[in-house]
Amino acid sequence: MKKLTRITTVPISLEKLLDNQLLFMKDYYEVTAISSDKENLEKVGKSQNIPVYTVDMTRKITPWQDLKALWQLYRYLKKEQPLIVHTHTPKAGTIGMIASKLAGVPHRLHTVAGLPLLETNGGKRKLLNFVEKITYSCASKIYPNSKGLKNIIIQEGFCKPEKIKIIANGSTNGIDTQFFNPEKISNEVLFQLKKTLGIHPDDFVFVYVGRLTGDKGINELVVAFQKIALEFSSAKLLLVGFFESELDPLNKDTLFEIKDNERVIFVPFQEDVRPYYAISTTLVFPSYREGFPNAVLEAGAMGLPSIVTNINGCNEIIEDYKNGILIPPKDPAALFMAMKKIISGTTMRSYLHQNARPMVVSRFEQIVVWKALLDEYQKLEGHV
């Protein structure tokens, strides 16, 4: 069996971004997963029943550590000689693609699921642009996970268009719509969870799932919700996720509001987010930049309409006033208006709700994405 090596910077990306994909690929390839954080990586290896190899990578700019990781990975790949190396996330992409090129790996694939550099400028932006170009030049194929990202990559001149391909309809892993299905959550679970969180039967729950950071639009979301709360006594805001205080901290006012406003409910990262979608009415996802947001797919599969920013990825899942509402990024006033429309427009909300699940099921079913990627791998095999 030919060797396939998948690399991410941190193990949670293997676990969440590629949930069960490695297990699927194991029937066709000898799969190895590489990431940092040995302890958590080994847990992922056990859950997917695959071997793992630890390379200490960071998500920040750390030249000496990066060089050390590069050398370690090069030696590993030179020894193992996989047919395909497929990387995800920026740092793993750069180190993985350079090491693979140096080690003579025939097929060097990198998936782009978002470009953090879009939110930087000046010297840092120039440096990140340069690094991105190196990553793409060492790769033999680039897979943006949305049409919008493909366009940005071409506009920025990161690589030639012929090197770029979108797998299926976009998304890195698709969505398991049998798992993310509102019918799978019992009324008893919903009743108990609402009771625990202090949510009443008549409450209107706006939910956000993901990293609680500035570039996810959380500052704007909290500002907009403060105004909503003044007008609608039934409104609650449920935030499910984790803070990244070092990489992208929230404003102090936002943190104070999350902590002290009794109508803002914070729940830390959850292994199973389905019950939290199931007790909610609408997803709010005001991100500045995305690849292809899993939360919007998950919420849609759970039957929720979504308010999202009109950016790549989000606007490929949500069609304006069909299964959600599109708003400009970084605009708390527009966000407030969309939230107001959805909480007060019962007929419109019902229409968006009835379209939400079918529009995800028909376009982004997980097995379709997996088979399209497998097909891509197998086509490459013919070009060795």
CB 206 within 8 A of CB 234: no
**Whole-angstrom Cα distance, residue 7 to residue 17?**
12
Instruction: Give the pLDDT confidence score for residue 19 in this predicted structure.
Output: 87
Alpha helices in the chain, H assignment, sequence order: 11-12, 21-25, 38-48, 63-80, 90-103, 122-138, 147-156, 187-197, 218-231, 252-260, 274-278, 294-301, 314-317, 332-344, 346-364, 366-381
Is it true that 3-174+366-381 and 182-364 share their CATH fold? yes
What angle separates helix 332-344 from helix 218-231, to the nearest 10 degrees?
40
**Whole-angstrom Cα distance, residue 127 to residue 358?**
43
Instruction: Give the pLDDT confidence score for residue 384 in this predicted structure.
Output: 53
Question: Can you give the pTM of this predicted structure?
Answer: 0.84
DSSP calls for 43-77 = HHHHHHT--EEE----SS--HHHHHHHHHHHHHHH
- Out of 3.20.20.70, 3.30.428.10, 3.40.50.2000, 3.30.360.10, which CATH number does the structure's domain 3-174+366-381 have? 3.40.50.2000
Residues of the chain with pLDDT under 70: 383-384
3-state SS, residue 304: coil
Structure tokens at 287: 């991100």
CB 172 within 8 A of CB 372: no
Give the CA angle between residues 15, 47, 167 to the nearest 5°: 45
**Whole-angstrom Cα distance, residue 208 to residue 238?**
6
Structure tokens at 383: 């070009």
3-state SS, residue 151: helix
| Residue 266: strand pairing partners | 239
The DSSP symbol for 164 reads: B
Instruction: Give the pLDDT confidence score for residue 202 in this predicted structure.
Output: 94
Which residue's entry shows tokens 């914070």?
266
Instruction: Give the pLDDT confidence score for residue 115 in this predicted structure.
Output: 83
Instruction: Give the pLDDT confidence score for residue 158 in this predicted structure.
Output: 94
**Whole-angstrom Cα distance, residue 14 to residue 252?**
32
The second-level CATH assignment, the architecture, of 182-364 is 3-Layer(aba) Sandwich (3.40)
Contacts 24+ apart (CB under 8 A), 270-276: 270/240, 273/209, 273/240, 273/298, 274/179, 274/180, 274/184, 274/185, 274/298, 274/302, 275/185, 275/189, 275/190, 275/193, 276/193, 276/207, 276/209, 276/238, 276/240
Beta-carbon count within 10 A of 20 CB: 15
Structure tokens at 355: 């379209």
Q: Where are the domains of the chain?
A: 3-174+366-381, 182-364
Alpha helices in 104-251, H assignment, sequence order: 122-138, 147-156, 187-197, 218-231
Cα torsion through 55, 22, 134, 117, rounded to 10: -90
CB 134 within 8 A of CB 94: yes
pLDDT in tens, 95-125: 999 999 999 999 999 999 888 777 888 988 8
**Whole-angstrom Cα distance, residue 377 to residue 384?**
11
